[in-house]
Structure 1
Amino acid sequence: MSTLSLRRGLLLRLGVLMLVFSALASVVVYRMALRFADEAYDEWLLDSARSLSQLVHLKDEHVTVDLPGSTLQAFVFDAHDRVLFRIDDARDGLVSGQPILHAQPFGVQDVRYADLWTEGQAMRSVQIIRRDLVGHLVSITVAETLNKRHRLASRVLGTVMALSGVLCLLTVLLARDAVARGLKPLLVLTESIRLRRQGDLTRLPDAGVAQELQTFTNAINDVLGQLDKASQMQRRFIADAAHQLRTPLAALKVELEHAVREPDPDRHAQALAQLRGGLDRLSRLANQLLTLARAEPGALARSHFKPLDLHALVHQAAMRCLPAFLEADMDLGFEGEAHPIVLGDALLLEEVINNLLDNARCYAGAQAQVTVRVERDADRALLSVDDNGQGVAPDELSRLTERFHRPAGSARGGSGLGLAIVQEIAETHGGHLSISSLEPHGLHVLISLPLLEEPTS
């Protein structure tokens, strides 16, 4: 389904608002014009009633009206409206006029206007009371239909509507030009983005950008910054992975060629064993690279996380690693009574534990003691791994989470990805990693994760 352009949408909304305003203005103008017409023609009715009143006098104790035929004809003649009148004596009743015009009650007011309905026609009337005739109270009522009033109001309304139409047309034309000018910076910005080279993630310029577009450009620049950061991380990851894979692959090639050319069966078997060990290390490196890619920010949706018992998860992983520690003549201990619940991915958190324990086993040294702890502190779940091995030099602590970095003087080989993977996974779960030295020697690695809020009963 196609949507309106921004320009058409603005003009359409403006047109609708103007139509609504014009309709309301028409009603108001018509009412006001009718009111002014009423005021003008009410004055004419009052003048007519007063003129008629001057013809009323007493004759032989009776109210009479000196109204010649020519005067009567001139009085009731009107090219547009029907004019009626009647003169009533409070004592004797109708004195003169048309009986079809109903008699009005004698009130306390000397002048009173009223809206009437006579023979199916709406009429406007005025009644004046004469109290100066001795012994008589005389009512003079003059009424007319409303044709002239409505005609005058319609003419005023037509004139106003014509002017409003012209103003609306001019307004739409001016608004069209104003909208085009207002949208020009957006079109220029859109065109500059469209003409960018593929892979160009530089920030959009802020200079000269309208204030209303700054929020838009800032949001785009934020996205471009994130894309650029992700692109740099991807390029670095690919370069590092290629560098780390090239060396073991070259060594495997040399070992394979040596095994193929070796005629001695014992040396041939030894070469194959070395080749098998190299393949195992290469396989682990590839798995770690895949885990690192999976733990990258944005690679895993937090909506897939599930509540996990960190105590049970760590204990199971420690038990699986225990044979390897015994084989390396090392002591592995587990402490923790708390069962903190965290929200996360079980496979990634198991990878955290495996990497921490593998790191301790590789670098702590023979007969070292390694202790795993699970604790709860306020709203955080704490997982720590301590060892009393040789430790790490102070200037190396800050570099332990760098990818493919191994501390100087490491006794055993490794990819240098373990703690980098741990840090990425911890941050993906909203936690953080801290590493510090223990006295007199050893290493303390701490993972802090947010606790899952328990539902209140």
Structure 2
Amino acid sequence: MRQVPGVSLQRKLLLWLLLPQLVLWLSGGFLAWRIALQNGEKGIDQTLTQSVRALARQIKPVGDGLLVDFPKAAQDILEQDPADRITYMVSSPPGRFLLGNAQLPAPPAQPITLGEPLLYHAQVDSRTVRVALLEVDYGSEPARQRLRVQVAQSLTVRERIAQELLEQLLLPMGLMGLVLSALVYAGVLRGLQPLKRLEAQIERAGKRSHNAADPLPPIELTSAPQEVYSLASTINRLLEAVARGQQNEKRFLNDAAHQLRTPLAGLIGQTELALHESHEPQVRERLQKVLSAAQRSAHLVHQLLQLARSESNVPMQPLDLPQLACEVAREWTAKALAAGIDLGYEGEEQLRVLGHPLLLREALNNLIDNALHYAGNGATVTVRVHITAPGTAALAVEDDGPGVPAEHLGDLFARFWRGSDKAGGCGLGLSIVDEIALRHAGQTFAEPIAPHGLRVGISLPTLP
């Protein structure tokens, strides 16, 4: 099942660090708004309390009536701001209008303490106002009466003060939020730098390894947090274990192939000698089968040895690829003529690449052997060296034989895969070619030829 990468660690850290900061910033703005409203209301309450007491002192009993000593100048001051006017109402007994604004509503249903102001909210002309109420007694017994004084002020001032305070707070809070966000972003980037260095080092190590079979060098970090050091140490232990497993596999493959070569050579020699000395048809038929099986086994051993060598560390050197291809093609001329196949070379006269001569010879030997084996009698096999793109050359062998179905082209370079049941192959030749191509920082390719045939080869980087 293909794994889909999730959200990056950097995004997760930024999300979990900046999102709480945004929540705190919004919460701080809301709390600042609420505190500003509360403080504005406290200021209004103090003003109304002083006003209602002062107004109550201006009402004096005279005989059976009341004298309101409220100058016109004071009334004009209270009502000078239409948007935020302070209104009042005097009633005696409570609720019976005497003076002021008759629209002031009655207090809520709750006990009223004589001589203590009562503060409450009310609606006047579709506006919310804050009302201060004070009740006092006047007159003498038994004709003592109660007087109610109400002073109201709209909450416009409170809201305006809160808005101004919030606007003054939002700018420094926004700047602080931006600075903090920048610091968090820079801190996350700096904190993830060791992981970036670790990734870059692993990528450089992979690029230095021309083959997947090469052991990767250990990861070295000069300075990194403890968690990254632990991760690097774990990866190094894993790389060491993989390298040991690869070395053991190569050693076993090499040793097994070497141990098998001598007895197989002896078996082939003894079988050929027995065939030469035997004249009975049945015995010769059985000996011929033994000889064919022994030759296939010897070929398999040889291929396994070449595979082990192709996966080992080898030095590279500049070489002339067309010259190498011509030499290998001439070495196969005799065998091609014996098989009734026309073998030739076409392509560049001179082209330099960086490679290992023995490995490239082995790759071309396998390509030619594969073509001669499957092309069939009367076919034409051509070795080509040509430039496919700037800085890239192709070493290919093409034939006009039956070819390979398009759906199996991708399987040609798989180990032990064979395109037919024809005797003589073991399914490792093209796999070795693929290993050698990877060793030379190149890649293999296989493509059909019209009307029939196959072109198989490797692409290699050229030298300037």
TM-score by length of 2: 0.54
Q: Which residue of 2 aligns with 1:115?
A: 121
Task: Quote how far apart the aligned CAs of 1:57 are.
Answer: 0.9
Q: Which residue of 2 aligns with 1:231?
A: 246
> For the residues of structure 2 that align with 1:232 and 1:30, how far apart are their CA atoms?
72
Map Cα deviations across residues 262-309 of structure 1 (whole Å, 9 max, x no partner): 2565997699399589959x79x99xx9xxxxxxxxxxxxxxxxxxxx
> For the residues of structure 2 that align with 1:4 and 1:254, how far apart are their CA atoms?
66
Do the aligned partners of residues 215 and 80 (structure 1) sit closer, same or farther apart at CA in structure 2, a change above 3 Å counting? farther
Q: Which amino acid aligns with 1:38?
A: E
> For the residues of structure 1 that align with 2:284 and 2:291, how far apart are their CA atoms?
10
> For the residues of structure 1 that align with 2:256 and 2:83, how far apart are their CA atoms?
100
In the alignment, is residue 195 of structure 1 matched against residue 204 of structure 2?
yes
Do the aligned partners of residues 190 and 94 (structure 1) sit closer, same or farther apart at CA in structure 2, a change above 3 Å counting? same
Equivalent residue of 2:84, what SS? Answer: coil
In the alignment, is residue 262 of structure 1 matched against residue 271 of structure 2?
no
Q: Which residue of 2 aligns with 1:242?
A: 257
Do the aligned partners of residues 133 and 35 (structure 1) sit closer, same or farther apart at CA in structure 2, a change above 3 Å counting? farther
Q: Which residue of 1 aligns with 2:80?
A: 77
> For the residues of structure 2 that align with 1:35 and 1:259, how far apart are their CA atoms?
115
Map Cα deviations across residues 334-362 of structure 1 (whole Å, 9 max, x no partner): xxxxxxxxxxxxxxxxxxxxxxxxxxxxx
Equivalent residue of 2:81, what SS? Answer: coil
Query: For the Cα contact (< 8 Å) 2:275–2:288, is it kept in 1?
Result: no
In the alignment, is residue 183 of structure 1 matched against residue 192 of structure 2?
yes
Do the aligned partners of residues 91 and 164 (structure 1) sit closer, same or farther apart at CA in structure 2, a change above 3 Å counting? closer
Q: Which residue of 1 aligns with 2:13?
A: 10
* Structure 1, unaligned runs of 5 or more: 290-457
Q: Which amino acid aligns with 1:239?
A: N
In the alignment, is residue 147 of structure 1 matched against residue 187 of structure 2?
no
Do the aligned partners of residues 270 and 180 (structure 1) sit closer, same or farther apart at CA in structure 2, a change above 3 Å counting? closer
In the alignment, is residue 52 of structure 1 matched against residue 39 of structure 2?
no
Match for residue 100 of structure 1 among 98, 103, 107: 103
Do the aligned partners of residues 234 and 2 (structure 1) sit closer, same or farther apart at CA in structure 2, a change above 3 Å counting? closer
Equivalent residue of 2:218, what SS? Answer: coil
Do the aligned partners of residues 251 and 45 (structure 1) sit closer, same or farther apart at CA in structure 2, a change above 3 Å counting? same
Map Cα deviations across residues 365-389 of structure 1 (whole Å, 9 max, x no partner): xxxxxxxxxxxxxxxxxxxxxxxxx
Q: Which residue of 2 aligns with 1:208?
A: 223
**RMSD between aligned residues:** 3.5
Do the aligned partners of residues 186 and 151 (structure 1) sit closer, same or farther apart at CA in structure 2, a change above 3 Å counting? same
Equivalent residue of 1:193, what SS? Answer: helix
> For the residues of structure 1 that align with 2:285 and 2:63, how far apart are their CA atoms?
157
Task: Quote how far apart the aligned CAs of 1:151 are.
Answer: 0.7
Equivalent residue of 1:131, what SS? Answer: strand
Do the aligned partners of residues 165 and 91 (structure 1) sit closer, same or farther apart at CA in structure 2, a change above 3 Å counting? closer
Do the aligned partners of residues 92 and 140 (structure 1) sit closer, same or farther apart at CA in structure 2, a change above 3 Å counting? closer
Equivalent residue of 1:209, what SS? Answer: coil
Map Cα deviations across residues 115-158 of structure 1 (whole Å, 9 max, x no partner): 11122111111112223554122221111111110011111111
Match for residue 160 of structure 1 among 141, 166, 169: 169
Question: Percent identity among equivalent residues?
Answer: 26
> For the residues of structure 1 that align with 2:39 and 2:94, how far apart are their CA atoms?
37
Q: Which residue of 2 aligns with 1:420?
A: none
Match for residue 66 of structure 2 among 63, 67, 81: 63
Query: For the Cα contact (< 8 Å) 2:45–2:132, is it kept in 1?
Result: yes
> For the residues of structure 2 that align with 1:254 and 1:50, how far apart are their CA atoms?
131
Q: Which amino acid aligns with 1:95?
A: L
> For the residues of structure 2 that align with 1:122 and 1:61, how far apart are their CA atoms?
36
> For the residues of structure 2 that align with 1:270 and 1:172, how far apart are their CA atoms?
86
Task: Quote how far apart the aligned CAs of 1:170 are.
Answer: 0.9
Equivalent residue of 1:114, what SS? Answer: strand
In the alignment, is residue 130 of structure 1 matched against residue 142 of structure 2?
no
> For the residues of structure 1 that align with 2:85 and 2:229, how far apart are their CA atoms?
69
In the alignment, is residue 41 of structure 1 matched against residue 44 of structure 2?
yes
* Structure 2, unaligned runs of 5 or more: 305-464
Do the aligned partners of residues 222 and 62 (structure 1) sit closer, same or farther apart at CA in structure 2, a change above 3 Å counting? farther
Do the aligned partners of residues 179 and 211 (structure 1) sit closer, same or farther apart at CA in structure 2, a change above 3 Å counting? same
> For the residues of structure 2 that align with 1:249 and 1:224, how far apart are their CA atoms?
37
> For the residues of structure 2 that align with 1:71 and 1:44, how far apart are their CA atoms?
15
Task: Quote how far apart the aligned CAs of 1:215 are.
Answer: 4.0
> For the residues of structure 2 that align with 1:92 and 1:275, how far apart are their CA atoms?
129
> Which sits farther off after the overlay, 117-126 or 63-72?
63-72
> For the residues of structure 2 that align with 1:189 and 1:19, how far apart are their CA atoms?
32
Matched residue count:
286
Map Cα deviations across residues 382-403 of structure 1 (whole Å, 9 max, x no partner): xxxxxxxxxxxxxxxxxxxxxx
TM-score by length of 1: 0.55
